[in-house]
């Protein structure tokens, strides 16, 4: 030991040997909150600066400062900053929740007005925007068919692509595919719609259609596939990478071929995560308006066939109804929006239950 080392003093972290410390009483946060609200109300309402929203903001700031100061004085600096940090995190959570709850609240209250059997069972055929009745049956069919076909196309393709990237791809080709998948993630939906419009609707379908462009639900499904594919590939890729290498090695060591290891060991292990990723993609596709507008064109009547003639979809229906200057249209738009959310939510819950349903009783 040199003298230089001896002069260095250890940093004092704890003083004394007392383990117990003074704590604020459990009612203190409530008391501080009450005081903050009263003070804020007096300050904002009393002086006439603003309404209840400003009062809430000022009360929140006062609460954080007040609790921090009270904690700091009674419990010490570390405990005081802990109280401030905890409060900030809780407030951030509430702030993030607020838009979600308010959207859900508005959607449910406004959507229920027209959400009835008539709305779910009729189309807009021979009904003008200024009539009170009319429904979204044709749009529900369109959304289910378009999103369904897009899912049938993208899920196998996307999972296969992710398997290639994770399990087989080496070097340049795998990196190139990853890069282009990343680029595809950023494609605006209108561009995907334009691509299918110019390629499928104007070039490919006229060959089979006496030279006339073929707007159809299937074209919309193709455009949605372009949007869904990168999401499916990337989320599946992440999930496959989370499967421990030890499981693959365990299977190889039993003489199980690689493809069977992937099908029977790796994919089932990553299953629930892959399903979540696919449902995110489905939800995004079901909510897209622009590509459907471009390549399916919209149709007020029921069209069961996705391969011929125009089709509508729920999001397109919402877009149309919301843009019409009629006293009845907004109610239809809200009801359709609620229907869309309920459909996506139901599908997501079903898919999750299906993925979690394991033969193993835990």
Residues that bind another protein (CB under 8 A): 170, 244, 246-257, 260-261, 264-265, 268-269, 271, 358-362
Tokens of 290: 């622009």
Tokens of 244: 């421990």
Helical packing angle, 267-286 and 137-163, nearest 10°:
140
Minimum distance, C-beta of residue 248 to another protein, in the bound complex (Å): 8
Residue 6 φ/ψ, nearest 5 degrees: -60, -30
- Rounded Cα distance, 70 and 49, in Å: 28
Minimum distance, C-beta of residue 180 to another protein, in the bound complex (Å): 22
Q: Is 286 helix (H, G, I), strand (E, B) or coil?
A: helix
Minimum distance, C-beta of residue 271 to another protein, in the bound complex (Å): 7
Contacts of 292 (CB under 8 A, 6+ apart): 142, 146, 193, 220, 223, 224, 298, 311, 312, 313, 315, 316
Closer to another protein by Cβ: residue 280 or 355 = 355
Minimum distance, C-beta of residue 272 to another protein, in the bound complex (Å): 10
Q: Report CA dihedral (170, 176, 182, 187) to the nearest 10 degrees.
A: -150
Q: Is 297 helix (H, G, I), strand (E, B) or coil?
A: strand
Closer to another protein by Cβ: residue 271 or 330 = 271
Closer to another protein by Cβ: residue 160 or 242 = 242
Closer to another protein by Cβ: residue 98 or 247 = 247
Q: How many helices (H) and strands (E) does the chain have?
A: 16, 0
Closer to another protein by Cβ: residue 56 or 272 = 272
- Return the biggest CA–CA distance within the chain: 98
Minimum distance, C-beta of residue 182 to another protein, in the bound complex (Å): 22
Closer to another protein by Cβ: residue 23 or 258 = 258
Closer to another protein by Cβ: residue 30 or 173 = 173
Minimum distance, C-beta of residue 172 to another protein, in the bound complex (Å): 14
Minimum distance, C-beta of residue 149 to another protein, in the bound complex (Å): 30
Annotate 132-159 with DSSP letters as a single string.
Answer: S----HHHHHHHHHHHHHHHHHHHHHHH
Q: Would you say 160 and 236 are in contact if contact means Cβ atoms under 8 Å apart?
A: no
Minimum distance, C-beta of residue 14 to another protein, in the bound complex (Å): 36
Closer to another protein by Cβ: residue 120 or 267 = 267
Helical packing angle, 52-75 and 77-111, nearest 10°:
160
């Amino acid at each position: 030991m040199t003298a230089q080392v001896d002069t260095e003093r250890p940093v004092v972290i704890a003083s004394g040997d007392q383990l117990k410390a003074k704590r604020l009483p459990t009612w203190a946060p409530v008391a501080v909150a009450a005081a903050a609200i009263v003070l804020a109300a007096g300050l904002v309402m009393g002086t006439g600066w603003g309404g209840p929203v400003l009062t809430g903001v000022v009360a929140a700031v006062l609460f954080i400062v007040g609790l921090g100061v009270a904690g700091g004085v009674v419990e010490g600096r570390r405990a005081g900053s802990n109280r401030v940090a905890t409060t900030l995190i809780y407030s951030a959570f509430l702030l993030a929740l607020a838009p979600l709850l308010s959207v859900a609240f508005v959607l449910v209250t406004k959507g229920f007005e027209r959400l009835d059997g008539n709305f779910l069972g009729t189309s807009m055929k021979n009904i003008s925007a200024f009539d009170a009745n009319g429904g979204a049956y044709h749009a529900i069919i369109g959304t289910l068919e378009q999103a369904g076909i897009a899912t049938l196309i993208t899920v196998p393709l996307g999972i296969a692509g992710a398997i290639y990237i994770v399990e087989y791809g080496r070097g340049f080709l795998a990196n190139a595919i990853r890069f282009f998948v990343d680029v595809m993630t950023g494609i605006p939906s209108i561009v995907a719609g334009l691509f299918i419009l110019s390629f499928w609707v104007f070039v490919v379908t006229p060959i089979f259609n006496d030279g006339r462009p073929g707007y159809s639900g299937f074209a919309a499904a193709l455009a949605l596939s372009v949007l869904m594919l990168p999401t499916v590939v990337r989320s599946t890729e992440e999930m496959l990478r989370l499967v421990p290498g030890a499981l693959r090695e365990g299977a190889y060591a039993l003489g199980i071929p690689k493809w069977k290891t992937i099908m029977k060991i790796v994919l089932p292990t990553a299953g629930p995560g892959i399903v979540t990723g696919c449902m995110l993609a489905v939800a995004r596709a079901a909510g897209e308006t622009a590509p459907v507008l471009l390549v399916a064109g919209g149709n007020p009547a029921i069209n069961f066939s996705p391969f011929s003639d125009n089709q509508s979809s729920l999001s397109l229906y919402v877009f149309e109804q919301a843009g019409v200057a009629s006293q009845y249209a907004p109610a239809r738009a809200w009801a359709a929006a609620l229907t869309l959310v309920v459909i996506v939510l139901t599908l997501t819950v079903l898919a999750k239950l299906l993925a979690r349903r394991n033969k193993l009783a835990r």
